[in-house]
A = this chain, B = another copy of it.
Amino acid sequence: MDMNVNIQDSTKVIAEDFVSLCKAGKADEAGDRYWADDVLSIEPTGSMPPARGKEALRKKGEWWEGAHEIHRMDIDGPYVNGNQFIVRFTIDVTEKQSGTRMKMDETGLYTLKDGKIAEERFFYSRG
């Protein structure tokens, strides 16, 4: 059990730093610091194919930020269990191309391996 407690404590430290950076609008720095080189990013079926690797995720983030105007982002969490944590993102955003303003409400499940994010998996609400 001691080892498991240590793993969870270490998850908490990383999760809180990760979320602090995201709350400060530094999601790119959060990724740079904690994504594993071969990190896997998984969106719900039918939205986007999985992306693999730090460089691919950086580009995905840049594309998303370029395609949207963010009016407000609220972040709840992190929520921790073992080597995993969950973060909730509520985003008031306008899709630039269509001009559609919407409230996005989603959660990310992050899985750590050796102190780095090996996988991020996003879950959508119908809103």
A64 at the interface (CB under 8 A from B): no
Given A1-B45, A45-B7, A109-B109, CB of A122 within 8 Å of CB of B81: yes
A84 and chain B: residue at smallest CB distance: B123
Judge whether A12 and B126 touch: CB under 8 Å.
yes
Interface residues on A, range: 20 to 34
The answer for the CA separation of A112 and B46 in the assembled complex, in Å, is 19
The answer for the CA separation of A93 and B123 in the assembled complex, in Å, is 28
Judge whether A125 and B1 touch: CB under 8 Å.
no
Judge whether A8 and B81 touch: CB under 8 Å.
no
Judge whether A45 and B4 touch: CB under 8 Å.
yes
What are some 23 contacts across the A-B interface (CB < 8 A)?
A1-B45, A4-B45, A5-B45, A5-B46, A8-B45, A12-B126, A16-B126, A43-B81, A44-B81, A44-B82, A45-B82, A76-B105, A76-B125, A77-B107, A77-B125, A78-B125, A79-B106, A79-B123, A79-B125, A80-B125, A81-B121, A85-B123, A88-B107
Which 10 residue pairs are nearest across A and B when measured between Cβ atoms?
Answer: A79-B123, A81-B123, A8-B45, A79-B107, A44-B81, A4-B45, A86-B107, A86-B123, A79-B125, A5-B45
